[in-house]
Amino acid sequence: MADDTEEVSEVGPPQQLPPPFLEVVCRSSGKRRRFAAGAEAGFAVRVMNKKLEGGSPFALYIEAVKEGEEAVAFGPNSALVDYGSGWRLQTVIEVDYTGGDKGEGFQQRMARSPLRNTDGSRVAKDVGKPTISLVYVGKILVAFILIFVLGAIFTLALEYLPMLILSIKSFM
C-alpha cells in the first residue's frame, strides 16, 4: 500500500505575525495604552479620555507619526494599524492647537480638528433660544391642513367603498 502523506517543506523565511496589540502614547498622561490590533480609533480615544485625571487635556484623535514624515490621522471609525519601524501612535490633544507651532503643520492639524475653526478660534456652540419665524409657523399650518385633507379623502373613500364593491359585483 502506498503512503498518502506528503512532506511539506517551508519556502522562504517564516512569516512574522503582527503583534497582538498596538501601543498608543497618551500625550495628556504620558502613559502608553495597549489596544488590540484593529481596534477603532474612536474607541481608543474614549478609553484614554475616561482614564485621564482631572485637569488633563482630552485627546481629540490619534495619529501615527514618524520623524521626517507627515502624520497620518485616524478617524473615529478607522482601525488602528502599525505602520512599521519608526512609526508610533499618539494622541493629539487640545493643547497642541493653543500654542507652539503656528506654521504649516499647525494649519493642517487645525483643518482636522472637530473643535476648532481653520483660523484657530473655537467653534461656537449654539446655546441661544431657537428662533421661530413666520415661515416656520406657516409650514406647520400647511402640514396640518394637508393632514386633515388626506383624512377627509380617506374617510369619504371608506364611506363609499361598499357601494363601489356592489357596483363592481353587478357588472360581473
Per-residue pLDDT tens digits for 124-165: 545 556 778 899 999 999 999 999 999 999 999 999 999 999
Q: Is residue 120 in a domain?
A: no
pLDDT at 161: 94
* 100/168 same-domain check: no
- Location of C-alpha cell 517564516: 14
Q: Is residue 103 in a domain?
A: yes
Q: Which of 101, 100, 109, 30 is nearest to 65 (CA)?
A: 109
* 89/145 same-domain check: no
pLDDT exceeds 70 at position 29? yes
User: What's phi and psi for 94, nearest 5 deg?
Assistant: -60, -30
pTM of the predicted structure, to 2 decimals: 0.47
Q: Is residue 28 in a domain?
A: yes
* 107/43 same-domain check: yes
Q: Is residue 170 in a domain?
A: yes
* 38/85 same-domain check: yes
As a whole-number percent, the residues of the chain with pLDDT over 90 amount to: 23
Question: Which range of residues forms the domain containing residue 29?
Answer: 21-112
Q: Are 89 and 35 in contact (CB under 8 A)?
A: no
Give the residue-averaged pLDDT of 70-94.
Answer: 87
pLDDT at 121: 52
* 89/45 same-domain check: yes
pLDDT at 51: 84
pLDDT at 139: 95
Name the pLDDT band for 30 (thresholds 50, 70, 90).
Answer: confident
* 108/142 same-domain check: no
Name the pLDDT band for 14 (thresholds 50, 70, 90).
Answer: low
pLDDT at 171: 86
- Average per-residue pLDDT for the chain: 78
pLDDT at 148: 97
Report the CATH number that the domain containing residue 79 is assigned in CATH: 3.10.20.90
* 135/97 same-domain check: no
- Location of C-alpha cell 506528503: 6
* 28/89 same-domain check: yes
* 168/94 same-domain check: no
The more confident residue out of 120 and 156 is 156
Q: Are 38 and 54 in contact (CB under 8 A)?
A: no
* 80/50 same-domain check: yes
Tens digits of residue pLDDT in 92-102:
887 765 554 44
How buried is residue 59: exposed, middle or buried, by Cβ count under 10 Å (0-12/13-18/19+)?
buried
CA distance 28 to 47: 13
Task: Give the number of domains in the chain.
Answer: 2
